Structure 1
Amino acid sequence: MMAKLKLTDVKRYLKDLDQKELVGIITELYKANKPVQDYFAVKINGEAVVKELYEKAAEEVNNEFFPTKGHGKLRLSVAQKAISDYKKLTGDAEGTTELMLYYVELGTEFTNTYGDIDLRFYNSLLSMYEKVVGACENEEQLYSRFSDRLYNVVENSEGTGWGYHEGLCDIYYSLGWLEEE
C-alpha cells in the first residue's frame, strides 16, 4: 500500500524543482485528469467556462431524476458529486446554492410524480435543503434570489410521507429573514 503524502511534502518537493520541471508536471497532470483540465479552463477562460460547467452539473443532477430517455435512476450520490465537483472547480457559491436547490426541487417533483420513496431519499433532500437555507441565512442576496423557490419547495411537498414536508417546514421557518417580512 502506498503511503499518502502530506501537502507539506508535496510543497517541499515542488519548491526544489525548476520552472521547466514544474511545467512538465503540470502538463502531465493536465493530460491525465479531466478535473484538472476543467480547473485550468476556469482559471484561464473564466465566466464562460463557469457557465458551461454549471449547465453540465445541472444536466447531471436532472438526469438522475428525469432523464430525457427512460426513468430516473435516483443515484443521489451521482447528483451530489456533480454539485460538489462544480463547487470545487469554480468556487461559485451562488451557482452551487442554486444547484443544491435544484436538487431538492427535482427530488420533490420526483416524489410527487412517482409517489413516496424512502427515508434515505428524504433525508438526503432535507440535508441539501438545510445547506441551501444555511447559505441564504448568511447572504441576504441569496435569500432574495431564492426566497420564492425555497417556499415553493415547502408548498410542493405537502402530503409527502416520511415527515419530509414537516422537516422542510422546520428548516424553512428557522430562517431569520422571515421574521423581518
Structure 2
Amino acid sequence: MPAKKTKPTWTDVKKNLASFDNPGLIALLHDLYTASKDNQAFLHTRFGLGDDVLKPYKATLTRWLWPNWLKNQNTSVTTAKKAIADYKKAVGQPDGLAELMVFYCEQAAAFSSDVGLDDESYYDALVRMFEQALKTIAALPEQQRPALWTRLDQVRRLGHQVGYGISTSMDELLIEYGVDARRSR
C-alpha cells in the first residue's frame, strides 16, 4: 500500500527551488509579486523601496481599527495585528515596529473616543499593544524614545475619555516601564 502524502512543507518547496536558475527565480518572484498586494508590500518593505514602507501597513491598521461604519465596515483586531506581524516578517526594523505599534494605539484610542465603542476585547487588545509598544520603544536608542512616549501619553489621555479602566492600565504600564511622559515632551 503506498504511503500517504503529507502536507507539503518548506523543505519540499526548497527542494524544488534548487532546480531553478536565476531567470526562473526572478519569474517566480514576479508571479508572487503580481499575485497580491500583500506580497508587493512585503517585497517593497524587504528591499526598502518607495517613500514610506510603513504606508501600506498603516493603511491596514486604519482600515481595521477605524472602520467606516457608514459603509458597514467592522473592526478586526486580528487583521490589524497581522499587519504588524507582516511588517516584522518583511524587515522588522525596531523603529518601524515601534512606529506601527504606537500608530495602532493612536488609531484604536481615537476611534474608541470618537464613536463611543463598547467592545471590551478591543480595549484589552489596545492595552496589550500599548504594553508591546512600550517594550519595543525601551529597546530603541535613547534619542528615539521621547517622541514615541509622548504619543503614547496622548493615547493614555484619550483612554480617560473612553473609560473601561483603559487609562488606569496604561498609567500602571507607564510607571512599570519608568516612563515619565511629562519629561519626554
Provide the TM-score with structure 2 as the length reference: 0.74
Compared CA separation, residues 38 and 114, structure 1 to 2 (3 A): closer
The structural deviation recorded for 1:122 is: 0.8
Query: Which has a greater percent of helix?
Result: 1
C-alpha deviation, 1:130, in angstroms: 0.9
Q: In 1, distance between residues paired with 2:123 and 2:96?
A: 23
Give 1:133 shift.
Answer: 0.4
Give the unaligned 5+ runs of structure 2: none
* Alpha-carbon separation, structure 2, partners of 1:172 and 1:147: 9
Q: Hey, what's the Cα distance between the residues in 1 that align with 2:119 and 2:5?
A: 39
Q: Could you say which residue in structure 1 is the equivalent of 2:126? A: 125
Aligned AA for 1:32? A
Query: Which of 11, 14, 29 is the aligned partner of 1:8?
Result: 11
Contact 1:136 1:143 in 2 (8 A): yes
Output the CA distance in 1 between the equivalents of 2:165 and 2:171.
10
Alignment check: 8 A CA contact 1:150 1:172 kept: no
1:148 matched residue in structure 2: 150
What pairs up with 1:20-39 in 2 under 5 angstroms?
20-39=23-42
Count of residue pairs brought into register by the alignment = 176
Structure 1 residue 157 corresponds to structure 2 residue 130: no
- Contact preservation (8 Å) 2:156, 2:166: no
CA contact (8 A) 1:61 1:79 kept: yes
Residues 104, 153 of structure 1: 8 Å contact kept:
yes
Instruction: Supply the AA of the counterpart residue of 2:173.
Output: I
Shift of 1:47: 4.5
Aligned to 1:102: 103
CA shift, 1:78, in A, is 2.8
Secondary structure in 1 matching 2:50: helix
User: Identical aligned pairs, as a percentage?
Assistant: 26
CA RMSD of aligned residues (A): 3.0
Distance 2:96 2:108 in 1: 18
Q: 1:109 to 1:29 in 2, by over 3 A?
A: closer
C-alpha distance in 1, partners of 2:26/2:39? 14
2:78 corresponds in structure 1 to: 77
Structure 1: runs of 5+ lacking an equivalent: none
Distance 2:5 2:70 in 1: 42
Q: 1:24 to 1:150 in 2, by over 3 A?
A: closer
Residue 93 of structure 2: aligned partner: 92
Shift in Å, 1:127: 1.1
Q: Is residue 31–residue 37 contact of structure 1 (8 Å, CA) maintained in 2?
A: yes
